């Protein structure tokens, strides 16, 4: 970020969206209603709701020369925290009641200290650039998935493709350079 024009004055926040595929042992807490407009959900199997509960926790990363090093925030937020940060920075009014009351992510930044990494650190060369590159994964190569872990579906209404285990002797986890060497020899 410090190499791009204006990068010394920029912040970036990346997050994911909860799509319902993860399990979290922490029950999602209640959330403020964004406004007084009820949801217009009429398509089954969607259940009527009020947008009054957060979803599963999701990770977020704040990247900035002013980001607090090694900081892990324990503040409960939702995606409107990014919007609140923009509204706070540019002194703009809130769009909804929820972002008006959201946290602004400022605990992740430190403007009292000089920015870190104004000059990027020198990184070591990539391991694969050497004459003796390390294996991709430590340990002995194994068959993935283990034999018998994937079985074809028998009967039923499923008409799509059937997952099958790789052929016997398929090895995963071999040295990456070796695999690349074989791929290059086929060209």
Query: How far apart (Å, rounded) are the C-alpha atoms in residues 86 and 96?
Result: 14
148 is in which domain, residue-wise? 125-187
In this structure, are 41 and 133 located in the same domain? no
Last residue of a domain, one of 123, 156, 174: 123
Torsion region of 70: left, alpha or beta (phi above 0 gives left; psi -120 to 50 gives alpha): left
pTM over 0.85: no
Q: What is the pLDDT along the chain (187 residues), one digit of tens a residue?
A: 556 666 667 778 888 776 655 667 888 889 988 888 888 877 777 676 788 888 888 888 998 888 898 899 999 888 899 999 999 999 999 999 999 999 999 999 998 988 876 777 788 887 777 777 766 656 666 776 667 766 555 544 444 444 444 455 545 444 444 544 554 454 4
In this structure, are 91 and 177 located in the same domain? no
Query: How far apart (Å, rounded) are the C-alpha atoms in residues 89 and 86?
Result: 5
Tokens describing residue 80 = 């409107």
pLDDT of residue 6: 67
User: How many domains is the chain partitioned into structurally?
Assistant: 2
Last residue of a domain, one of 106, 123, 140: 123
In this structure, are 129 and 117 located in the same domain? no
Neighbours of 164 (CB within 10 A): 9
CATH number of the CATH domain containing 22: 3.40.720.10
Tokens describing residue 70 = 């090694």
Residue 42 exposure: Cα atoms within 13 Å on the Cβ side: 1
Query: How far apart (Å, rounded) are the C-alpha atoms in residues 66 and 105?
Result: 12
């Amino acid at each position: 970020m410090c190499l791009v024009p204006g990068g010394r004055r920029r912040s970036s926040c990346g997050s994911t969206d909860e799509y319902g595929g993860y399990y979290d042992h922490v029950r999602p807490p209640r959330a403020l209603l964004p406004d007084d407009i009820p949801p217009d959900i009429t398509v089954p199997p969607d259940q009527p709701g009020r947008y009054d509960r957060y979803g599963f926790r999701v990770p977020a990363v704040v990247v900035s020369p002013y980001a607090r090093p090694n900081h892990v925030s324990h503040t409960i937020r939702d995606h409107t925290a990014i919007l609140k940060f923009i509204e706070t920075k540019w002194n703009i009014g809130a769009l909804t009641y929820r972002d008006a009351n959201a946290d602004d992510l400022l605990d992740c930044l430190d403007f009292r200290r000089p920015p870190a990494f104004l000059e990027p650190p020198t990184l070591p060369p990539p391991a694969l650039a050497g004459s003796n590159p390390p294996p991709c994964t430590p340990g002995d190569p194994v068959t993935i998935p283990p034999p018998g872990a994937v079985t074809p579906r028998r009967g039923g209404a499923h008409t799509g493709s059937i997952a099958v285990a790789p052929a016997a002797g398929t090895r995963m986890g071999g040295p990456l350079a070796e695999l690349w060497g074989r791929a290059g020899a086929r060209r």
